Chains A and B, each alone.
Chain A
Amino acid sequence: MSTLTAGTETPRNAGPARPAYRVSTRGVLRSEWAKLWSLRSTWITLALGLLFLVAFGLIAATRYRSGYASGTLDRDFASSTGLELSLFGTNFAQLALGVLGVLITAGEYSTGMIRSTLAAVPRRLPVLWAKAALYGTVVLVVGTAGAFAAFQIGSGILSGTPAAMSLTHAGVLRGLFGAGLYLGLVGVIGAALGMLLRSVAGGISVLVAALMLIPGLVTLLPSSWQGDIGPYLPGNAGQAMYALTHDATTLSPGAGLGVFLGWTALALAGAAYRLVRTDV
């Protein structure tokens, strides 16, 4: 490593033994992958998300079955399908998985790790893309597996009831994959919000507001507005991706996916803008 050369103006006058390192997309992906799995919070939160997804689906199916057997099903519940009951946990799982997304990015700011990360990858954007892509894929896989598990277990419980369904039932496969994809995108949105707001608390608040509070608040609007705005909100558009039945007040699965992808892209664009523009 003896580079006692005077002409340091030329940057590439390395000694013979100098290894040729370079930042590559593959390298950034491997680094982010290692970072993801080296934190205990990843394992705990993913397990929690999976547990919510499966356990709440199981509870919903069990309640339906016991209500059906005793003839005490309330009306809303009575019209549920097997798919809806099994995917009942999606609402809870999305919280855990979205929060982990926020932690993955905002956690770098709260700990100061971001300075090491961006000193290694000073072009910055590859870090955001790598985090979003890797975490999105992990949640997609976990979410899809969880949705299938919840449905299979639920089917067992529901067999013999009007809600019973099998995988071959029209729309079921699409719904299960749709739920996995929805959760994956929620993970990406969480990561983008964390990068955008640089604060764990801020990121979680905005995530919860976007997915759960705003749809509720919109019901306070005049009903003509509700019909125009409601379906396009992130939470509602996302639900359309995995719902079995669609009516005038909801988007079709394809349109829901399109709108939800739009929200994801918006969050990512905001995150990218702030990442490139602001000091750390």
Chain B
Amino acid sequence: MIEAQQLTKRYGEKTAVDHLDFVVRPGTVTGFLGPNGAGKSTTMRMIVGLDAPTAGSVTVDGRPYARHRAPLQEVGALLEAKSIHPGRSAYQHLRALALTHGIPRRRVDEVIDLAGLGSVARKRAGAFSLGMGQRLGIAAALLGDPRTVMLDEPVNGLDPEGVLWIRTLLTSLAEEGRTVFVSSHLMSEMALVADHLIVVGRGRLLADTTVADLVRRAGGDTVTVRTQDPARLREALAGPGVDITGQVGSEELQVTGLTAREIGLAAADHGIALFELTPRTVSLEQAFMDLTRDAVEYHATTTADRTPGRAA
């Protein structure tokens, strides 16, 4: 469980994280979404104590990360920036981290196999491809068998097989009761694995919600119906969780909470003629962009007047 209270980070003039309050709960995968420069990586660095908050605090299972006896057993983190010495092999890297905590050699071999690095474990990490480097980072995150797994854009550079591996891994980690916190700027990717979403923009919390709710709020399951008798159709469709809007005197209704199929069947049952039955599909990306439109730091159209976000 990760709890942030009024978490704030300023770099000089720039406020990277702005009074964030959120809780990441165990047993589910929580997605951490936001456009470039939203403050996701900064928040994650503060969680593991690499950056100190300017104000506010963040705790992991009730205390600051640094106050745990075995931090690697508490949080396993894959950070955005490279965190490996290129001169060491994957095995040597993991072994050095394991030694600090008294983690046995056996566990090092285990995570190497788990991450699919068996064949390259003795090679210099400097020669690794982007995806292999990412796998090594994930192996390091799992090394301490942590209660909380926190991954900053884990699918970066992974091939389709790797992406699938990550998805299965995240789901199974959550099923084991661990807290799983994963950042991404790809809503569609998140929707496949995350149950819960924390959305940020320009350092501020924009939404703390579920995937289903976010889609609903963006109007993702609205069906447009045109009918001869709007008043009777309203009565026929009314029910819990169903929301119907439409202008008086108009043939057109907007229905949420029912599928087009359900509406069509209900209309047929009541003998009401329909002229149009159109589900309005809002993609997840659209929902995400609606939510973050005002908070997007670096629009593609702005050129000279803004400096781009840190590449790292």
Contacts and interface: CB of A to CB of B under 8 A. Distances in A.
Interface residues of A, number: 43
B57 to A, nearest CB: 15
A115 interface: yes
Contact of B99 (A1, A9, A30, A280): A30
A275 B99 CA distance: 21
A8 B148 CA distance: 11
B50 A119 contact: yes
Give the residue among A10, A20, A279 with the most B Cβ atoms within 10 A. Answer: A279
Interface in B49-72: 49-52, 61-63, 65-66, 68-72
A118 B49 contact: yes
Given A27-B101, A279-B50, A108 B145 contact: no
Task: Please classify how large the interface on chain B is, using the bins under 10, 10 to 19, 20 to 34, 35 or more.
Answer: 35 or more
B182 interface: no
Contacts of B26: 3-4, 8
Contacts of B85: 35, 39, 107-108, 111, 113
B191 interface: no
Give the residue among B65, B69, B84, B85 with the most A Cβ atoms within 10 A. Answer: B85
B132 interface: no
A96 to B, nearest CB: 18
B68 A11 contact: yes
Given A2-B177, A21-B70, A27-B101, A122 B86 contact: no
A123 interface: yes
Interface of A, helix, strand, loop or mixed by DSSP: loop
B140 interface: yes
B50 A280 contact: yes
A111 B176 contact: no
A270 to B, nearest CB: 19
B61 A11 contact: yes
Interface in B97-153: 97-103, 140, 144-145, 147
A72 interface: no
A1 B142 CA distance: 12
A136 to B, nearest CB: 19
A228 to B, nearest CB: 42
A111 B84 contact: yes
Interface string A14-39: 00001111111001101110110011
Contacts of A41: 87
A105 B245 CA distance: 65
A8 B97 CA distance: 26
B197 interface: no
A11 B62 contact: yes
A21 B103 contact: yes
B178 interface: yes
Contact of A122 (B49, B62, B82, B178): B49
B145 A27 contact: no
A126 to B, nearest CB: 9
Contacts of A210: none
Nearest to B140: A116
Contacts of B103: 19, 21
A46 to B, nearest CB: 15
Contacts of B179: 8
A31 B62 contact: no
Contacts of A229: none
B180 to A, nearest CB: 13
A24 B50 contact: no
A279 B71 contact: no
B73 interface: yes
Given A34-B96, A35-B85, A38-B89, 18 more contacts: A2-B176, A3-B147, A3-B176, A8-B147, A11-B63, A21-B72, A27-B101, A31-B99, A32-B96, A38-B87, A39-B87, A111-B86, A111-B87, A115-B81, A119-B48, A119-B50, A121-B71, A123-B66
6 contacts: A20-B70, A27-B99, A27-B101, A111-B82, A279-B45, A279-B51
Interface of A: 1-5, 8-11, 18-24, 27-28, 30-32, 34-35, 38-41, 107-108, 111-116, 118-123, 279-280
Please list the 6 inter-chain residue pairs (A to B) with the smallest Cβ-Cβ separation, ordered nearest first.
A122-B66, A4-B177, A31-B99, A115-B83, A113-B85, A38-B92
